Each structure stands twice: as structure tokens, then as C-alpha cells.
Structure 1
Amino acid sequence: MPTAPVPRLDGFAIQIKNLLYVFSGYGSLDYVHSHVDVYNFTDNTWSGKFDTPKDMANSHLGMASDGRYIYVISGQPGPQCRGPTARTFALDTVTKKWKSLPPLPAPRYAPATQLWRGRLHVIGGSKENRYTPGVDHWSLLVKNGKAVERQWQKEVPIPRGGPHRACVVVDEKLYVIGGQEGDFMAKPGSPIFKCSRRHEVVYEDVYMLDGEMKWKTLTPMPKPNSHIESSWVVLNNSIIIVGGTTEKHPVTKRMILVGEVFQFHLDTLQWSIIGKLPYRIKTTLAGFWNGWLYFTSGQRDRGPNNPQPRKVVGEMWRTKVQL
């Protein structure tokens, strides 16, 4: 399908009806985007573009939508491995106007974020040093793109913290899927906050928050999987997840990308693998329209025989899905 106007890594996407809003992200480690591109599923064109606020983060965002307003939570401003912000915003997708919301109690990097029962829930992520997993869970009552409360409320912490997870609400239940502990950090003393690799653990854990505000541990994913914040769609009482990253190679310690399409069946709470992508890729931005599953953007592998990450892409692909 038509390639996105720019390549992007660690961006975010929200689908509203036939439009996929694709937010910011890295163009490369030294350059970040500060705009939204819009893909129209009806005519399969990139049909819109508008800027984000200057003081909004560029990558590792938390994001949720009520079908008109998109809520954007914290994330990392700037390139390389700068620290996160606590700033939050709401976008009216009809007027394209932005508004500020109360900041988080503390900055967070790639927190799991979702709108659930009228409240904006922000869960986990990494703390200010970009590495230490956060287990904090905060919520804010919102309506029509505005905060009804002046400050965030504390909620029950998630059993395992960390960034880069899928966070999905279906049938009054909130699911947090996959993720990791640890991440790249800024090299000490680097004036450009140059990224430096640290030990990280990718996991397959799946948690569900029910109406009694208690976390339950569900069947884990078929393999550990991270970098899937925007890599999911809800389809026929199941959650589909596209790509990601898994545990590093045991000998070389290099990152390994994921090329499978996973399905989590919400009736049986079991996982299956339903297909493969054209290549292994992380931080995909997924959507579904009229029988077609789409993904765009991310960082792909070095080739069929090398699962390590290399090129940041903006390609858009689709496949017919029959479940």
C-alpha cells in the first residue's frame, strides 16, 4: 500500500473510523517528527498532516481515544535518549485543536494508556532515568477532551512494570500485554544524551484489570514480546498483535525482531499465531478496515536470515483477514 510520507520508529497511531492518525516518532535516532500524518482507509491515501504542540513529546507516548478526542500522555521529547516529560494533551480530531491537561504526577516513558469507564488510565512505563520499570497506575476523569478533575488519582499498581506494552479495553475489561523491564539509557555525560544499551528483559506476561479493580494474570503470549504499544486491533472478540521484539539472542545478545501475527481469543483466553508479516518489525502501527488488517512504519530486520533491527521504514502493508 502507499508508503507513509516519512519513516518513523516509536511513533503511535489511533484509528477513528476510516482514518488512521499516525503520530510523531523518530525519523532516525538523531531526528524526531513533530507532526501527525493521516491515512484514509476508504481511498487508501495519506490525506492529511498537521503539527503537534511544541512542548509535546515526540516518541514513547501513551495514547487513547474516545472516538473524537485523542489523549496524549507523557513520552520522550527530542532525539536520542532524553528523559521523559509529564506533559499531557488532548486533540480534537474534528477541529484539529490541542489542549493541555493536568501533568502526570511524575514523568513516564512509554506507559500503557487507555480510556476505561470514563477515566484515562496510565500504567507502568519507565521512570525518569528511562530504565527503571514503573508500576504506578494513575487515572484522570475526562470528558469531551477536557479533564473533569484537577489532578490524577492513584490506582492499584500493576504487578509488573515497564514500557512498550499493548493496552486494550474490550467488554469493560482492561488488558495489558507484553512489555519489558529496562531500556536504552543516555550515556553518562553525553551532551546529546546519546543512547547506550543496557540489560533488558522482554516478557510475555498478560494482565487483566476487572471491574473490582483487581489485576489477574492471564495466559502468557506464545513468546516474549515488546514494542507493541500501537501494534494491535480488536477483531471478532479477539486482540490481534502485529510484530514486536522478543528476547535477545543468547550468544550475540543482539535484539531480535518478531515477524508473527498473534491472536488472543477473549472467550478462551488462549493465544494462537495466525500469520506472518512480510518481514520482522517492531513498533508497527496497526489498523483494521473492511476486512483488511493494515500496518505501517517501525524498524525492520536486516533480511530473511538476520532478525536484528536495521532500517526505519514508513511502508504500509495490508492482508485480508478471515477469522
Structure 2
Amino acid sequence: MARNNGKHVSKKLVFLLSCAGFLGVALIADFFWASSSSLSSAYSSIASNWVLEKSETVVVPNVVKGKAVKSKNGTHDARILSGTFADLPGPELKWEKMASAPVPRLDGSAVQIKNLLYVFAGYGTIDYVHSHVNIYNFTDNTWGGRFNMPKEMAHSHLGMVTDGRYVYVISGQYGPQCRGPTSRTFVLDTKTKKWSDMPPLPVPRYAPATQLWKGRLHVMGGSKEDRHEPALDHWSIAVKDGKALEKKWKTEIPIPRGGPHRACVVADDRLLVIGGQEGDFMAKPGSPIFKCSRRSEVVYSDVYMLDDEMKWKTLPPMPKPDSHIEFAWVIVNNSILIAGGTTEKNPVTSRMILVGEVLQFNLRTMKWSVYGRMPYRIKTTLVGFWDGWLYFTSGQRDRGPDDPQPRKVVGETFRTKLHL
């Protein structure tokens, strides 16, 4: 009996140990599967942002052999994808860090009058917008002077230009997140710091291209009232000494391609419109705070020039598509320099990609080149030039050297000596 009981206990023990062994094997297998899945996911994330400098293509390794790469835009069988969003090769520039702006700004605006850079409005965060002006003095490299904007004035996506004393402020978005635009226009007298009204635009616009040309204030393109649909409209009004000489805006020849966030430059008595995009974030339907919701965007490299006959001509395109550059340019020695911006989205992840180059357009040869590289990629930065130095301040920078996606809104100021 005792011997029989021992055998019975031994059989039960073997059975229990076998079950425990099977359970252990299952747990170990599950652990390795989860680790493999997690590693594969992480590698996919890295691969989707893989950028090879000094190359026309971007190589995305296949994580799972024999399977296609899936994305929001569909399935990609090829391992080599278009590299239009990749960093462009260019000389390394020596950048010197200066005093940071009093507040960080995204989608802010700026004009330079002699040695002063007037910096307006912009987002502090997606839920907070600035409604004041800061001034940077290039002579002593300090920030000083602050005054408020009119309460009715837009806070971002402004059209803006100066004649050397008066600053004309056109339309733009009123409030944080993705709120609606206004058609209101204002003029600032920088000597007296006083504001006055001008006739409103016929309809509101987001980030219209704005410039003074041949005694008239020109406003073109931008986004329509839904913040997404590109506008082709072009209006002008005669102005002098901060006052409108006409009661209504005049309809001009439409711009060939609409959209916001483009540079608008007058050089050699020619009006140029450079880069930009079609589409933008929109307010989420029904959101009480007008929460921003991503929509499709197309960034382009188009350059157009308006001639004396009021006809648009197409000029050589930029080296890469570039947007969010409306206040990121200066003219130096017959060249237009443009700093940073955004380019085409990553073709796999559809995520926004920032630009880290200073692009140069030679007005004599009508050719583009890469003047040099910035300390980091950045969009909606605000640019000035003084005494041989190129300055930029504020904007939204990248996540690091190996990740060109936007992250932190900054107020940092840098400068580099130009040799043009």
C-alpha cells in the first residue's frame, strides 16, 4: 500500500512538473514574440524617418522580408522612395547664438526697419497666442521695447510688409488652435507706435502673400475661410505714408497657384512669389475650441514673377519644395536668401518634414543653390540682415539631427557672417 501510494504521488508530481514546463515554455515564447514585435515596430519607426544626406533617394529597409511597407498613402513594394524631403548637401556655416527672444513664437511675423527687427504675434503654444510686438536691435544685439497690438488684430498667419516706417498688417487668423480668419487690416507707425485702420480685404484670408509694389499694396493667395482651400485671388490698393488712397481694393490678375506660407519679394522692381503649399490644418467639425485637425497638404517649389505688363511668368523652381517661409527671407547683394521651412511629407509616415538649409536665388543668373546649413531644421523662423550678418529667431525646430519632424517652439536667436 505504501509503495502503491508512492507511485501514485510520483505520477501526480511528474504530471504537475510537465504542466509547469509547458507553461514556462509558453511564457518564454510569448516574451520573445512581444520583444520581437516591439523591436520590429521601433525599427519601422526609425526606418520611416531614415534620411541619407548627399543623396537623391531615401532607402527604407524592409523590416519583414518579402512583405510590402504599409502607410496611410497605400502600400509601397519598392525599397527606394522619393527623396524630395531629404536634407540637401551644403556648406557648414558657423552660427553664433545670440540673446533669445522674450517669448517663443510659431507662425509669428516680422519686418526689418534699418537696425531694428519688429517681431509680431504668433503662437506661444497651440492654445495660446501672443498679441504684442517685441523689437530686436541689431546694433547692440539686444531685445528691448514691447508694445501691444490692437485687440481686433489677428494673431497668426498675417500678411505683412513695411515701407521703412509704416507696417501694413493684412488679415490672418484670430485666436489659438485653428480659429477663423479676419478681413481686418491695420497700419503701425513705428515712430509713434500708433495703430490705425485701413479698408478690410474683400474676404478674410490666412497667410496671404503681401508686398508693396509700384505704389500699391498687393495681397495674393493664402487660404480661404475654411483654412484649407487655396485661394487664387489677388487684390491691390494704393497707399502712401501709412494711409490708403482708395476706399476699395482693386481686383488684379489671379496668382497662378494659390495657398499660404510663401515668400513674397520685390527685387529689381519685380514682384516674386516663392514656394508655399496647398492645404493646411482645419478646425475639427463641432469642436468648441476649434481644435486643429490634420488635412492633406501639398508643398511646392514653384516661383512666379509679375512683370510690368501685369502678367505672371514662371521662374526656375526651388531646389526642394519649401513652405512656411513668409518672413524667412532677405535680399543681400542681388541674391534672395531663404532660411528653413517645411518640405514634402515623409512618403511612408506622412509626417511633416522641416528644412535645415539656407537656400540662395541669384537674381542675375536666375539660379538656385544651397548657401549653407542651419544649426537645426526650423519652420516659420523670422529673418533679418545687418552689417554682414544673417540673423534668424523663433519658430518650430526639429526633434534632433536624425529626426526632421517638428517639435519644440523656440525663441532662440542665431547669426552667421555672410560672404556674398
Moved beyond 2 Å, runs of 4+ = none
1:212 deviates by: 0.9
1:151-172 deviation line (CA, Å, top 9, x unaligned):
1000000110000000000111
Find the counterpart in structure 2 of residue 66 from structure 1.
163
Q: Which amino acid aligns with 1:224?
A: P
Quick one: distance in 1 between partners of 2:145 and 2:313? Answer: 41
> Which of 136, 140, 144 is residue 241 of structure 2 equivalent to?
144
Give the SS at the match of 1:221.
coil
Once the two structures are superposed, the pairs formed by residues 23-102 of structure 1 within 5 Å of their partners are: 23-102=120-199
Gaps of 5+ in 1: none
Partner of 1:230: 327
Distance in structure 1 (CA, Å) of the matches to 2:167 and 2:367: 30
SS, match of residue 75 in structure 1: coil
Partner of residue 168 from structure 1, selected from 265, 269, 282: 265
1:184-243 alpha-carbon deviations (Å, 9 max, x no partner): 000000000000000000000000001110000000000000000000000000100000
Distance (Å, rounded) in 2 between the aligned partners of 1:236 and 1:83 = 40
Residue aligning to 1:12: 109
Query: What is the TM-score with the length of structure 1 in the denominator?
Result: 1.00
State how far apart, in whole Å, the 1-side matches of 2:120 and 2:399 are: 25
Deviations 1:39-90 (A, max 9, x none): 0000000011100000000000000110000000000010000111100000
Corresponding residue pairs, total: 323
Q: How does 1:92-171 map to 2 (within 5 A)?
A: 92-171=189-268
RMSD: 0.4
Picking from 177, 185, 205, the partner of 2:302 is 205
Question: Which one-letter code corresponds to 2:334 in the other structure?
Answer: N
Paired position in structure 1 for 2:414:
317
State the match for 1:264 in structure 2: 361
* Residue in structure 1 matched with residue 30 of structure 2 by the alignment: none
**Alpha-carbon shift at residue 268 of structure 1 (Å):** 1.0
Q: Distance in 1 between matches of 2:389 and 2:271?
A: 25
TM-score (norm 2): 0.77
Determine which of 234, 237, 240 is the counterpart of 2:337.
240
Deviations 1:271-321 (A, max 9, x none): 000101100000010000000000000000001100000000000000000
Partner Cα distance (1:84, 1:264) in 2: 32
The structure with the largest helix share of the pair is: 2
CA distance in 2 between counterparts of 1:44 and 1:212 reads 43
Match of 1:278 in 2: 375
| Deviation for aligned residue 1:4 | 0.1
